[in-house]
């Protein structure tokens, strides 16, 4: 099938280095991913990142609304680091502030996201994969660990809402993760498949709550975790039952649902098989992060052009990119740093 060049395909792609290679440029021009994602390997200095994001957009037609994503949470998941931006605290540290003073905790979450937006927007990055809405359980693996705001679903929901609002105030779109909940993982999903044995009733009372509270957001990332009481055979990312009954049904999320990285070994099979399984489960977008060309080709060959509900959700996300509020960066940074210094 000859695909019109005006159409985007339903995947988000990384690249290998600090600038696009000729092969990457040709691949992106031909295959037209919906968006891009950056990692630490793509970061040298601010001017280089700004050049890279502009170069990415140029390959598929320019336009500042083309999504360029990053995981800029704070703590150990912070792709852009000092000296280019300050080192931000992790979510658990913000959760601790909330437990001392709810209003102060919410303000801290909002401020940190608003500062992320200042840092990222000037580099051409318009989507941050934040907030983490996973409700941590005792013994949770470090793959989530202190990336979670805490163990109480209502606190996670409140802090997640504040974080998302801070990003939007700065002109960025948030991506909720990891839907419908990754807080029960006892293994690293980059290497192994996590399995959660909690009952559906337990999940509905805790894990799913933050996502329900924020179901009107425009973007979310799936969880590579099996919920044995819902679909014992497939992780959420490749489970049509989890997508239909839980994410679209019980939670009521109608935004763009993208996979977590298709390269993670929680998923079985080769990249082509994983991609087909994600598409078959009903996700709108396949995320490929590693910049390995052979894998990128396999993803592109096994997703189709955006169409139907997926296209509607993708268009709504791009159209929903907010305008920044014009806030005083220096004043907000001073307020935030004073707040965390005494926490």
pLDDT digits (tens, 9 = 90+) for 278-295: 999 999 999 999 999 999
Token pair of 307 as six digits: 């169409």
Q: For tokens 């609002």, what's the residue? A: 165
Q: Which domain holds residue 253?
A: 9-34+62-341
In this prediction, residue 123 carries a pLDDT of 98
Q: How far apart are CA 45 and CA 50, in angstroms?
A: 9
Token pair of 194 as six digits: 């996590």
> Helix or strand or coil: residue 12?
strand
Asked if 333 contacts 115 with a C-beta cutoff of 8 angstroms, the reply is: yes
Cα separations (Å) of 107 from 66, 102, 163, 272, 328?
Answer: 30, 9, 9, 44, 16
In this prediction, residue 190 carries a pLDDT of 72
Q: How far apart are CA 13 and CA 288, in angstroms?
A: 5
Q: Does residue 3 belong to any structural domain of this protein? A: no
- CATH number, domain of 278, equals 3.20.20.300
Please name which of 82, 121, 34 lies closest in space to residue 313, comparing C-alpha atoms. 34
Q: Does residue 275 belong to any structural domain of this protein? A: yes
Dihedral sign from CA coordinates of 159, 162, 167, 168: positive
Residue 39 has pLDDT above 80, yes or no: yes
Asked if 208 contacts 180 with a C-beta cutoff of 8 angstroms, the reply is: yes
Asked if 198 contacts 244 with a C-beta cutoff of 8 angstroms, the reply is: no
In this prediction, residue 189 carries a pLDDT of 64
- Compute the C-alpha angle 96/152/167, nearest 5°: 65
Q: How far apart are CA 221 and CA 43, in angstroms?
A: 23
**Bridge partners, residue 226, by sequence:** 195
Q: Which of 45, 142, 190, 197 is catalytic?
A: 190
In this predicted model, which residue has the larger pLDDT, 185 or 31?
31
Q: Which of 71, 128, 207, 260 is catalytic?
A: 260
Q: How far apart are CA 274 and CA 276, in angstroms?
A: 5
Q: Does residue 49 belong to any structural domain of this protein? A: no
Q: Does residue 44 belong to any structural domain of this protein? A: no
Cα separations (Å) of 23 from 53, 63, 103, 292, 293?
Answer: 17, 22, 50, 11, 8
Strand 285-288 and strand 226-227: the pairing is: unpaired
* pLDDT band, very low/low/confident/very high, at 7 (cuts 50, 70, 90): confident
Is there a catalytic annotation at residue 128? no
Asked if 335 contacts 111 with a C-beta cutoff of 8 angstroms, the reply is: yes
Strand 77-78 and strand 72-74: the pairing is: antiparallel
**pLDDT digits 0-9 by tens, 326-339:** 999 999 999 999 99
Average pLDDT over residues 252-271: 95
Q: Does residue 161 belong to any structural domain of this protein? A: yes
Q: How far apart are CA 59 and CA 168, in angstroms?
A: 26
Average pLDDT over residues 230-234: 97
Strand 226-227 and strand 256-261: the pairing is: unpaired
**pLDDT digits 0-9 by tens, 54-88:** 999 999 997 889 999 999 999 999 999 999 999 99
Give the helix/strand (H/E) hosting 70. Answer: strand 68-70
* pLDDT band, very low/low/confident/very high, at 139 (cuts 50, 70, 90): confident
Percent of the chain exceeding pLDDT 90 equals 90
Average pLDDT, whole number, for the chain?
A: 94
Token pair of 185 as six digits: 């993982």
Is there a catalytic annotation at residue 260? yes
In this prediction, residue 4 carries a pLDDT of 39
**Bridge partners, residue 70, by sequence:** 38, 128
Q: Does residue 330 belong to any structural domain of this protein? A: yes
Number of domains in the chain: 1
Q: Cα torsion at 268, 269, 273, 278 (round to 10°)?
A: 10
**pLDDT digits 0-9 by tens, 297-316:** 999 999 999 999 999 999 99
């Amino acid at each position: 099938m000859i695909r019109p060049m005006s159409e985007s395909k339903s995947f988000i792609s990384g690249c290998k280095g600090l600038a696009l290679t000729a092969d990457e440029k040709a691949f992106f021009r031909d295959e037209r991913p919906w968006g891009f994602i950056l990692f630490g390997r793509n970061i040298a200095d601010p001017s280089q990142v700004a050049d890279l994001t502009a170069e990415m957009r140029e390959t598929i037609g320019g336009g500042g609304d083309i999504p360029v994503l990053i995981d800029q949470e704070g703590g150990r998941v912070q792709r852009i680091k000092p000296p280019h931006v300050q080192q931000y605290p992790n979510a658990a540290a913000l959760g601790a502030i909330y437990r001392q003073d709810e209003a102060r905790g919410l303000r801290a979450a909002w401020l940190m996201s608003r500062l992320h937006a200042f840092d990222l927007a000037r580099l051409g990055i318009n989507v941050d994969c934040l907030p983490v809405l996973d409700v941590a359980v005792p013994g949770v693996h470090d793959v989530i660990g202190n990336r979670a705001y805490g163990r109480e679903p209502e606190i996670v929901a409140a802090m997640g809402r504040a974080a998302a609002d801070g990003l939007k105030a700065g002109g960025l779109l948030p991506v909720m993760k990891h839907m419908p909940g990754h807080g029960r993982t006892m293994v690293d999903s980059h290497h192994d498949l996590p399995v959660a044995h909690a009952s559906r009733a337990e999940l509905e009372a805790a894990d799913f709550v933050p996502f329900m509270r924020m179901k009107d957001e425009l973007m979310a990332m799936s969880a590579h975790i099996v919920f044995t009481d819902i679909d014992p055979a497939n992780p959420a990312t490749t489970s049509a039952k989890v997508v239909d009954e839980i994410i679209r049904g019980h939670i009521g999320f109608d935004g763009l649902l993208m996979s977590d990285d298709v390269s993670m070994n929680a998923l079985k099979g080769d990249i082509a098989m994983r991609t087909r399984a994600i598409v078959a489960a009903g996700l709108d977008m396949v995320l490929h992060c590693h910049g390995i060309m052979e894998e990128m080709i396999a993803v592109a060959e096994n997703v189709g052009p955006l169409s139907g509900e997926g296209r509607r959700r993708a268009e709504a996300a791009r159209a929903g990119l907010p305008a920044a509020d014009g806030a005083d960066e220096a004043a907000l940074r001073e307020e935030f740093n004073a707040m965390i210094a005494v926490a």
